[in-house]
Structure 1
């Protein structure tokens, strides 16, 4: 399988892990020193820290679906344009996101997420940020 196709397949595998709320698989798809960086908060570094972070998102989460609009590789980087839809504590919400993933072999080295944080928090029905490390 060409490298471009492999990266797209890995991106789709990650989306499926999110859609099935398989938090362990999500973390295991990162290198041991991998980085998950929602651009408006401090990056989460290390596979186990990533696991704790994504697993914490499951608190009150009833469903989540990452709906892909466009996915492709530019250079060595995978870009995923999507809308994340979710139900948390009985409230349905959605937010548009672009994910940018860099790989080391078949593992994610860096995953950057770009979205409107205020929009996400409102969609989640929150009046304060759930992430204490966010920048204001």
Structure 2
């Protein structure tokens, strides 16, 4: 079942809203059971439950999150969202530019690729070492 460009954009914005609300159950519910989350500089995470664990764990490090969408569009059936991800971690504000690419199966996200500078993110979060053990 194919999904319209408009529906992909709506689901992408729903994902952004879930992150801004720090509602990890809602964010995970937008993904297929066998979805893949791949922050390109670390190993991919496979499966809705594993993704939920990863994003809720990341969310637990933040006091607040505000993903600001700068540009959004669909190219060749893939949704692209350029963002500035703002957050406060342990009282320290930070931000990092991100580009996400989302592929769909029906109206659920099947593959979610994130492109950003990992060193910059960790620095902005005030972390001396990576919080994600899959990078080691």
The alignment's TM-score, normalised by the length of structure 1, stands at 0.96
Write the distance in 2 (CA, Å) between the matches of 1:29 and 1:93: 26
User: Equivalents in 2 of 1:108, 1:117: separation in Å?
Assistant: 23
Q: 2:94: which partner in 1?
A: 93
Question: C-alpha offsets along residues 20-52 of structure 1, whole Å, 9 cap, x if unaligned?
Answer: 000011111110000011000110100000010
- TM-superposed CA distance for 1:60, in Å, is 3.4
Output one character per residue of 1:83-133: Cα deviation in whole Å (capped at 9) or x when no partner.
Answer: 000001000000000000000001000000000000000000000000111
Superposed, 1:31-50 pairs within 5 Å as 31-50=32-51
Unaligned runs of 5+ in 1: none
What's the C-alpha RMSD, in Å, of the aligned pairs?
1.0
Q: Which residue of 1 aligns with 2:116?
A: 115
State how 1:1-136 maps to structure 2 within 5 Å. 3-134=4-135
Could you list the structure 1 runs, at least 4 aligned residues long, displaced by more than 6 angstroms after superposition: none
Look up the SS of the partner of 1:41 in the other structure. Answer: coil
For 1:108 and 1:60, the matched residues in 2 are separated by 24
Deviations 1:37-74 (A, max 9, x none): 10001101000000100010122311101000000000
What 5-or-longer segments of structure 2 have no aligned partner? none
Aligned residues: 134
Measure, in 2, the Cα distance between the counterparts of 1:108 and 1:56.
20
SS in 2 for 1:113: strand
SS in 2 for 1:128: coil
TM-score, normalised relative to structure 2? 0.96
In 2, distance between residues paired with 1:58 and 1:103?
24
